[in-house]
Structure 1
Amino acid sequence: MSAGAIDSEEMAPEETPPPPKPWKDEGYPAFSKWMASSEDFLILRRFRKVNTRALLYLQNKVARLEEDLDNIDASARQMPDEFADSGTFRGDPLAARTATMERAIPLLQQYNEFLVTYSQVNSWSTAQKYHTQNLDNWFWNHRGAICEEEQEFASHKDDLVAVLNRPKTPLRQLIEKFMPLLDTRLFRSAPREQHVSSPTTVYLSNKRLDAVVFGVVITLGLLLLLGPMWTLHFVVDGVKRLGIITGFIFLFTALLSSATIAKPFEVLAATAAYAAVLMVFLQMSGGEEA
């Protein structure tokens, strides 16, 4: 039966494959799956301008209710005593004041929740270049899958955020640019259920890449400690020694800035400690010569 099926297939006239329909075969199902498959792909807009305008709109609504309450309180003070009691919620004689408070509470809750949520979103770091490049590459490799007007969000580079941002050091980003190295099985991530099977999408193992970065940092760190120790031992001239120390301090600062996500004052503190160690080396080598 299988031979007959093969023969039948071979005897059938060759048909021209139908033109691709990415908007039908891929579309948002494929785009959503790709975005959800890696923390480096989930890139969205934060809509700063619209969010700010919405907050201003809600703020204005709350301000109007505040003005209404102030006017009601001012009017009550001009009324007879039986209508002027503002010291009770339970027995408030002015129904308008109670109604205004009832309208203000849900509006304030909406405003406060919106304000807190947006402040958190706005504090997120803007998407890095490699984030936006991933997005642009998918649209290029899957032309026609998503409506052009709905791809427009990717052009707002300064308004894009990586929702699941995992900070990467400049050294890690540099290593990821060596595609011939990353194409090896050593750095490929094991297939997972959420991964997308695509010739243009590569999933890397964070654990292995971090191990490589760790190894590079440890190696360079040891060289920056042992290098000046041995170099200063063979150099006699004081000016040259200071030049050597200055050079190693600059190298240490460059390594710390590129291999870590430390803040500037942390880099400065670590550099000062390293400089103190080098001065100890300088004194030790000078004492031996004496």
Structure 2
Amino acid sequence: MTTSPIQMHQILANPSQSQSGPQAPIRQSTGNSLLAKLNAASPVQSPVPVSAAQNQIFSEDEKRDWGFKFHGYPAFARWMGTSEDFFLLRRFSDLNARVLLSMQDEIMFLEERLQAIDKRHMDALFDKTTQGKLRQSILDRTVPVDRTAQEQMKQSRNDTLRHDPDPERKQILKKLRTLLKEYNESVIAFSDMRSRTTANERQITNLENWLYHNYPGAIDPEEHKFAKHHEDLIPILTKDRSPLRHLVEKSRKMRSWSLFSVNKEGGTSTSHFYSGRKMDAFTNVIIIVLGLAMLFGPTWWLNSIESADGKLGIITGFTFLFTVVLVCSSVEQPFQILAGTAAYAAVLMVFMQTTSAKS
């Protein structure tokens, strides 16, 4: 479901007051089972005192003025959940970039330290003659092993992970395992968030109308500052919509048609809900009708024209119109639109040649 922009005039909603009824009696435990213990447990007591006066009646104006009490986050969350056009959040581009840079620098520091340890093992003292005898004694298993040569070889090893003689290198690799996982996941998550389109003007208007006009004061002023960051707001769900669909949505009269209207709980009295599926079906019908008109119209016209220049003029004009219709009715890339236009022009040219040959 999608929604139209909320009206700017004030029309209050009518939230009903909930009254707490009498509590059911607590059943006594008759055994040692978990169910019996749960039944015997005392109910959770609310820290907020509930007034026993039943004659407290608040007018709609009072409920609106005291929105922090009667609306607040329960109403705000319920309203946001009714449509993807209402559910806007901040992307935090600057903070995400700064955190990623911090993680990158930490990984680079460990990378440089790891390279320094590797180089230290490469540059360690290494006697080729002694190490050759040590290798031969290890292979023969008969010659006594030279402990000095063995210690020298240990300090020069870069060939093992299981028996790494350097404990610091093991610790660095262990830290990198965790850091790289967090870094990779953060980069992928932020790249997905960056690919989302920024909230459009209509969606931002919906949010600001609820916060500042429909229910002013319902959300703490320090906590609704996120709505001021227009360039950083993104819808929780993005859908590709054709320019024709956007044009239909901008028309208040068309949005108000009974054909599109739906009843949905959770909105405000100034919210108008319409069916996204019905609007998609309506725009698809328009596209099909225009497509058929662009196909059959020029063919009948070409059949009645004898002049070659006149036929070329008809083909040129309808090809241009077809390109405009294709741009307004699709979300394809420019080269795909050009490919469709070329195919359309080719069909008309073939028909022109066929009619010319018959004449």
Asked if 2 retains the 8 angstrom alpha-carbon contact of 1:171 and 1:213, the reply is: yes
Residue by residue over 1:91-116, the C-alpha shift from the partner in whole angstroms, topping out at 9 and shown as x without a partner, is 22221221222222111111111112
Instruction: Name the counterpart of 2:15.
Output: none
Q: Higher relative contact order at CA 8 Å, sep ≥6: structure 1 or structure 2?
A: 2
Q: Distance in 1 between matches of 2:73 and 2:180?
A: 37
Asked if 2 retains the 8 angstrom alpha-carbon contact of 1:176 and 1:182, the reply is: yes
Instruction: Name the counterpart of 1:90.
Output: 162
Aligned length: 274
Q: Distance in 2 between matches of 1:227 and 1:148?
A: 59
Q: Distance in 1 between matches of 2:197 and 2:309?
A: 44
Asked if 1 retains the 8 angstrom alpha-carbon contact of 2:124 and 2:155, the reply is: no
Q: Distance in 2 between matches of 1:286 and 1:59?
A: 69
Corresponding letter in the other structure for 1:221: G
Asked if 2 retains the 8 angstrom alpha-carbon contact of 1:39 and 1:166, the reply is: no
Instruction: Name the counterpart of 2:105.
Output: 60
Instruction: Name the counterpart of 2:225.
Output: 152
1:118 maps onto 2:190 in alignment? yes
1:195-214 equivalences in 2 (<5 Å): 195-214=265-284
Indicate the larger mover: 277-286 or 57-66: 277-286
1:205-244 equivalences in 2 (<5 Å): 205-244=275-314
Q: Report how far residue 39 of structure 1 moved.
A: 1.9
Instruction: Name the counterpart of 2:175.
Output: 103
Residue by residue over 1:59-100, the C-alpha shift from the partner in whole angstroms, topping out at 9 and shown as x without a partner, is 000011111112222223325333232222222222122122
Partner of 1:176, secondary structure, is helix
Select 1:50's aligned residue among 87, 95, 103: 95
Corresponding letter in the other structure for 1:165: T
Unaligned stretches of 5+ residues in structure 2 = 1-54, 126-151
Asked if 2 retains the 8 angstrom alpha-carbon contact of 1:84 and 1:93, the reply is: no
Give the direction of change, closer, same or farther, for the CA distance of 1:106–1:28 in structure 2 (3 Å limit).
Answer: same
Larger radius of gyration: 2
1:174 maps onto 2:251 in alignment? no
Corresponding letter in the other structure for 1:242: L
Instruction: Name the counterpart of 2:318.
Output: 248
Q: Distance in 2 between matches of 1:206 and 1:85?
A: 66
Select 1:35's aligned residue among 80, 95, 98: 80
Asked if 1 retains the 8 angstrom alpha-carbon contact of 2:79 and 2:268, the reply is: no
Instruction: Name the counterpart of 1:266.
Output: 336
Q: Report how far residue 243 of structure 1 moved.
A: 2.4
Structure 1 length-normalised TM: 0.85
Q: Report how far residue 54 of structure 1 moved.
A: 0.8
Give the direction of change, closer, same or farther, for the CA distance of 1:48–1:270 in structure 2 (3 Å limit).
Answer: same
Q: Distance in 2 between matches of 1:78 and 1:287?
A: 89
Corresponding letter in the other structure for 2:301: T
Instruction: Name the counterpart of 1:72.
Output: 117
Q: Distance in 1 between matches of 2:270 and 2:98?
A: 39
Partner of 1:93, secondary structure, is coil
Indicate the larger mover: 36-45 or 133-142: 133-142
Q: Distance in 2 between matches of 1:145 and 1:89?
A: 60
> Percentage identity across aligned positions?
39
Give the direction of change, closer, same or farther, for the CA distance of 1:197–1:70 in structure 2 (3 Å limit).
Answer: closer
Q: Distance in 2 between matches of 1:277 and 1:15?
A: 70
Structure 2 length-normalised TM: 0.70
| Coordinate RMSD, CA, aligned | 2.4
Report which of the two has the higher share of helix.
Answer: 1
Q: Distance in 1 between matches of 2:162 and 2:86?
A: 55
Indicate the larger mover: 205-214 or 16-25: 16-25
Instruction: Name the counterpart of 1:279.
Output: 349
